[in-house]
Structure 1
């Protein structure tokens, strides 16, 4: 069951990435990120209020947001810092790079997750899963070759390093999620609500220094319908992902790989919608990533 929940998470993540590309295109990345996160928080706020006033009903429907200790709040805040940094890097990179380059690099996240899952949680992949893992890495390398034809030098372009950093931090957060869900016993909606709240506070602090005091920067911000949709889709993706992690048999390395299936939406539909170059050449490494994911999942 947890694998199917992972696939649902991947579906919403793929749609989320498409809307995110639309939201940040020619726009200020930081305020877009704040607004998307705030949209997610506003979606969860009624759930928190109802949990305080109608706890029995919310428990009955499985959406009750529990009270947590200050110690657990500290754990959630650490996740919020990690993901805030990851999103800041990812949004800036997505603004300057094609989605068909960004998404495959993000697909290299299982590399970091595999290492962490092996050494931290003692998860053990089999021979074919290792083969799939290296096929994914090779496919990401092939995307780098295609990217050079679009004027993107993977060694000199700072946004490439930004998206790699975002990928590493995102993978670290994924490993941390297993600790929060399985070892701290957090419910998905509880983690989502406090996580969103802390990220909003962190981003407000950043924007207070870098954006709010500058009228010229504020004037370049463009509100788009896709901005709140990004936040809503992300909350849906996270909910199914955290529900999958609640299963004691769920392996974080496999969930991380399953989530890579979002590239079907991001690369194919994104290439058609945003009219990006070399779509056919990107199908070869796309197939490689899918093959690698398939070997990880079904062997």
Structure 2
């Protein structure tokens, strides 16, 4: 069951990436990020209020919110710091790079998760899972070759390093999620609510120095419907992902790889919507990544 929940998370993540590209195009990345997290928080807060005023109904529908300790709050705050850093880097990179380059690099996230799952959680991959992970990495390298034809030199482009760092932080957060869900026994909605709350707090502090004081930056910001859509789609994807992690049999290395199937939506649909270059050539490494995910899933 947890694998199917992972596929649902991938579906909503793919749609989330398309909306995110639309939201940041020609826009200030930091306030867009604050807007997306805030819209996601309002979405989750609606259920939080329902659980307060109609607790019995909330429990029957499976979205009751836990009362947690200050120590648990501290652990969630650490996750907020990690993901705020990852998102700040990723949004800036997405603003300056094609989605058909950004998304495949993000697809290398399972490799970092894979290493962490081996070392921290002692998860045991088999021969075909090894092949699958190396296929993903080799496919990302092939994307770098295609990226050069679009004027994107990986070694000299700072946004490439930004998206790689964002990917590493995101993978670290994925490993941390398993600890929060399985060791601290946090349910998905409680984790999402407080995670969004603390992330908004962190982003507001950052924007107080980088955006709010500058009138020309504030006037350059354009509100778009996709900002709200990004927040809602991300929270929906996270809910299915965290529900999958609640299963004690769930392997974080496999869930991380399953989530990367979102790349089909981002590369195929995104390439058509945003009219990016070399779509056909990108199908070759896309196939490599999907084959890697397939080997991981069905081995």
**What interval of TM-score do these two structures reach, taking the shorter chain for normalisation?**
over 0.9
Q: Distance in 2 between the 1:122 and 1:167 partners? A: 22
- 1:149 corresponds in structure 2 to 149
Rounded to whole Å, the distance in 2 between the matches of 1:66 and 1:53 is 15
State the SS of the aligned residue for 1:231. helix
Equivalent position of 1:121 in the other structure:
121
- Structure 1 partner of 2:170: 170
- 1:98-117 pair list within 5 angstroms: 98-117=98-117
Distance between the aligned counterparts of 2:189 and 2:258, measured in 1?
A: 22
TM-score, scaled to structure 2: 0.99
Q: Give the Cα–Cα distance (whole angstroms) in 2 for the partners of residues 47 and 297 of structure 1.
A: 33
What corresponds to 1:236 in structure 2? 236
Q: Which runs of 5+ in 1 are unaligned?
A: none
TM-score normalised by structure 1 residue count: 0.99
Q: Secondary structure at the match of 1:180?
A: helix
1:215-254 deviation digits (Å, cap 9, x = unpaired): 0000110011111000000000000000000000000000
Alignment of 1:49-88 (within 5 A): 49-88=49-88
Identify the residue that residue 290 of structure 1 maps to in structure 2.
290
CA RMSD of aligned residues (A): 0.6
Q: CA deviation at 1:52?
A: 2.4
Superposed, 1:20-39 pairs within 5 Å as 20-39=20-39
Q: Which runs of 4+ in 1 moved over 6 A?
A: none
Distance 2:7 2:53 in 1: 34
Q: Displacement, 1:56? A: 2.0
d(CA) in 1 for partners of 2:53, 2:268? 45
Deviation of 1:176 after TM superposition, in Å, equals 0.2
Deviation at 1:60, TM superposition (A): 1.1
Shift of residue 50, structure 1, vs aligned partner: 2.3
Distance (Å, rounded) in 2 between the aligned partners of 1:217 and 1:57 = 45
User: What per-residue deviation string (whole Å, max 9, x for no partner) do you get for residues 120-151 of structure 1?
Assistant: 00001000100111011000000000000000
* Worse-superposed segment, 50-59 or 232-241: 50-59
For residue 190 of structure 1, what is the aligned residue in structure 2? 190
Shift of 1:98: 0.1
Q: The residue matched to 1:151 in structure 2 has which SS? A: coil
Structure 2, gaps ≥5 residues long: none
SS in 1 for 2:150: coil
Mapped partners of 2:36, 2:243: distance in 1: 22
**Alignment partners' CA distance in 2, 1:138 and 1:211:** 39
| SS in structure 2 at match of 1:247 | coil
Aligned residue-pair number = 299
Distance in 2, matches of 1:296 and 1:73, equals: 34
Q: SS of the counterpart of 1:178?
A: helix
